[in-house]
């Protein structure tokens, strides 16, 4: 269970069905975001969407100097580099309801340093899927992305897409994936794999590294809490 302030309300989420949580989150942001409601302006790139939509809402923005799909839902806001900028794809930011960026690949901004040749935070991302940097943000992989309809044909993107279940397809000559986006969660369908692959999350838990690191933990299917260790997972 967790609780936090959203707009002028305190939202409490219990384990289990998230429908009530989604409804409360939606109502809270609707009550506190009059500016966006009245003029329909797209919020500044690099922050969570306000108000959080009840369904899935996709817009096209520039984030960290790369063109992205900005995917907003009741659970948070995610930025997926869509391939328009030098064939780069992958999630470069994942904002929770409190505004924490769980990825923060700001390689072009120069806020932080890294041992990588790319510098800054360019190692961060999700899912950092394949050989040749497929779906690894800030890295070129000759990949593209689009939003297909039920028959697999690309939808015409006219400023915004909305729905309870949207599908994003991304591919290059080696890999082909579908991201199924829902208001409360997302799933990934593997269409084609011709080389090694992985689902790799690299980023700061809750937006920053805790000290001591043992305060953070992760949970797998078996439900066991496992602590992080310096340099990688425990």
Give the tens place of pLDDT for each residue, 17-43: 666 656 655 555 554 443 344 444 445
- The verdict on 223 and 178 lying in the same domain is no
* pLDDT in the model for residue 179: 96
**Tokens coding 171:** 């591919």
- The verdict on 50 and 71 lying in the same domain is yes
- The verdict on 90 and 174 lying in the same domain is yes
Structural contact between residues 57 and 162, judged by C-beta atoms closer than 8 angstroms: yes
More confident position, 111 or 208: 208
Residue 120, CA distances (Å) to 85, 110, 139, 211 in order:
19, 6, 13, 21
Q: Nearest-CA neighbor of 133 among 192, 78, 104, 175? A: 175
pLDDT digits (tens, 9 = 90+) for 121-159: 667 889 999 999 999 998 999 999 999 998 999 999 988
| Domain interval for residue 220 | 209-234
Structural contact between residues 196 and 188, judged by C-beta atoms closer than 8 angstroms: no
Q: Is residue 17 part of a domain?
A: no
Number of domains in the chain: 2
């Amino acid at each position: 269970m967790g609780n936090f302030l959203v707009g002028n309300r305190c939202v409490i989420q219990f384990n289990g069905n998230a429908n009530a949580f989604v409804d409360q989150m939606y109502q809270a942001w609707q009550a506190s975001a009059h500016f966006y409601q009245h003029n329909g302006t797209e919020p500044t790139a690099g922050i969570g969407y306000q108000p959080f939509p009840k369904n899935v809402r996709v817009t096209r923005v520039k984030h960290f100097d790369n063109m992205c799909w900005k995917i907003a839902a009741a659970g948070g806001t995610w930025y997926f580099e869509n391939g328009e900028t030098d064939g780069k794809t992958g999630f470069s930011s994942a904002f929770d309801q409190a505004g924490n960026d769980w990825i923060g690949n700001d390689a072009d901004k120069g806020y932080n340093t890294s041992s990588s040749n790319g510098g800054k935070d360019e190692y961060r991302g999700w899912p950092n899927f394949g050989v040749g940097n497929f779906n690894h943000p800030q890295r070129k992989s000759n990949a593209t992305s689009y939003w297909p309809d039920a028959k697999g044909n690309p939808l015409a993107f006219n400023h915004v897409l909305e729905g309870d279940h949207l599908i994003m397809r991304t591919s290059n000559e080696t890999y082909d994936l579908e991201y199924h986006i829902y208001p409360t969660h997302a799933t990934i369908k593997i269409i084609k794999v011709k080389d090694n692959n992985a689902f790799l999350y690299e980023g700061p838990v809750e937006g920053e590294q805790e000290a001591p690191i043992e305060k953070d933990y992760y949970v797998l299917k078996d439900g066991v809490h496992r602590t992080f260790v310096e340099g990688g997972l425990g």
